Chain A
Amino acid sequence: MIDNSLATTGVIRSPSPGQQVLPVSSSSLTNSSKGFINEFFEWFGDLGVFFWRVVRAAVTPPFEFRELVRQLDEIGSKSLPLVALAGAATGVVLSLEARYSLTRFGAKSLLPAAIVFSVIHETGPIITGLVVSGRVGAGIGAELASMKVTEQIDAIEASAVNPYRLLAATRILACILMLPLLTLAGDACGLFMGWVAQALVEPLSLHQFISTGFNGASFNDFLPPTFKTAVFGLIIGLIACFQGMRTQGGAAGVGRAATNSVVLSSLFVILADVVLVKLILIFFP
């Protein structure tokens, strides 16, 4: 029997007595990889269709202003403390690390500029994106998934209300609008705490820190990195709504949707950041 299975399944090494043989045929491997590839492209296809429906719903009346305002509060105001805290912590860490490195290379005078440019160019936007994808992505994913499995989304549709407009468009738009504002708040907290961390070691006024740090900075240093987070907002909102509204399978499905929303939105935020940084360097040198 073992010989036969070896012949048919492609297991090369003979098993020791009592060792269990896991039959892995080449055809089943091919089938599973085909299945994975199919699922991969199907996911992107479904995401594209979902995005198109949301865009179409978002640009046609009736507009759901009241729900949009509620989502702006839910996504923006309620994420603010977390973003501020993350920004502040990043500012402190940057200040400590940069001081150590720059002092070693005799460039301590560049410390304010190093903190300012690091925060507004990269750490502020990406930290904000990741914090929001964790908090908001999980929240949207779980909320919509729960509504889906309890037929509340069907009930909305049965009430002749477009769920893509009411649930998805409002949340995605709120993410797009709030991410740059949250980034500004995160940047401000990061810079302030960066100054505090430096001032505790070596006396330096805030005015001096700001004027030295922003010396030579232009709008090109400030605006594109801040507004690229609108793309992060689109990614977070879109993926979280998509994962939530396609959920199946009860409580387990809700948990899966929340996890997938966070994992996928964080992953795509990082990937988008790579592309956006390159584009910003090309168009705003």
Chain B
Amino acid sequence: MSMNTIEQVATQTAIDQGKAEEDGGASVVSVEDLHKSFGSQPVLNGISLTVKRGETLAVLGRSGTGKSVLLRLVIGLEKPDSGSVRIHGQDIAGLALDQLGAIRMKMGFLFQHAALYDSLTVEQNVAFPLQHHKKKMSKSEQRDRVHDLLAEVGMESGFAKMPADISGGMQKRVGLARALALEPDILLLDEPTAGLDPISSAEIDDLILKLQAEHHMASIVVTHDLHSAKAIADRLALLNEGTVVIEGSFEELQKSDIEFVREFLRHS
């Protein structure tokens, strides 16, 4: 696809986004009747969710219930078997890789294990999206922006370190800085506190809350950590066997009579 087509898609996305916002709080991310199987193993069985601008949705559930698959479908790393994923009103299911690229520029993704590029330094990792998409920025502007982003996530030093030389919590912070590099309006976080000690988890939660307040993004946070979800999310969706068992505030989950919900809350 030529650059013109990428620009057309980006422009169309911006128009759709504008229309959606004119409609008054329309969904930025909309997932409808999503089905996904791997071989004969069904993972998602008709998931429907929406997230508005400035809203944070936490997706909870046991391990292997398809939470991470849901995020990968939202950003287009997986194709759904059926159903639709709409970003700013545009269905991304049938888009080619370069067309998806135009939409992904408005999305940030924090991977479960950060997925930092192990051959690049911390600074180069955060600079990666800028080098590819902000080519008009000078080297010094890019460097300043990278330092600002790293400062925003609480990293003031160690920019020249390799990912293998920093802790898991630091890797998450760098991953978050990289996800924010292109100023996304949708943030997808896959288990942001998994594998971290309670203090680091709380710090990451605080950081996510701070970023939400500052950037006003639509966020989907996949987690099995109920305390973290309660702290950072406006709404929670609990998944079991590929379907949404309940969706609502933490208080609504607490009041639920559904056996699975009660059991999940009891063990969290």
Contact = CB atoms under 8 A, between A and B. Distances in A.
Interface in A120-171: 146-147, 150-152, 154-162, 164
Contact of B77 (A62, A147, A154, A164): A154
B75 interface: yes
Given A60-B1, A61-B3, A160-B133, A155 B115 contact: yes
A60 B98 contact: yes
Contacts of A61: 2-3
Given A60-B1, A150-B113, A157-B77, A162 B107 contact: no
Given A160-B102, A160-B105, 13 more contacts: A150-B113, A151-B113, A155-B116, A157-B77, A158-B75, A158-B104, A159-B132, A159-B178, A160-B101, A160-B129, A161-B128, A161-B129, A164-B97
Given A159-B128, A160-B133, A151 B115 contact: yes
A157 B105 CA distance: 10
Nearest to B130: A159
A62 B3 contact: yes
Interface of B: 1-3, 72, 75, 77, 97-98, 100-102, 104-105, 107, 109, 111-113, 115-118, 128-129, 132-133, 135, 178, 182
A160 B183 CA distance: 13
Contacts of B116: 152, 155
A200 B116 CA distance: 56
Interface in A251-266: none
B77 to A, nearest CB: 5
A155 B117 contact: yes
A153 to B, nearest CB: 9
A158 B76 CA distance: 8
Interface string A271-285: 000000000000000
A151 B72 CA distance: 11
B98 A150 contact: no
A18 B191 CA distance: 55
B33 to A, nearest CB: 24
A160 B100 CA distance: 7
Interface string A37-50: 00000000000000
Contacts of B1: 60
A210 B105 CA distance: 59
Interface string A158-196: 111110100000000000000000000000000000000
7 contacts: A62-B135, A146-B118, A151-B111, A155-B115, A156-B117, A158-B109, A160-B133
A61 B1 CA distance: 8
Given A61-B2, A152-B118, A154-B77, A160 B104 contact: yes
A235 B114 CA distance: 33
B86 to A, nearest CB: 18
A61 B129 CA distance: 16
A155 B178 CA distance: 10
A152 B115 contact: yes
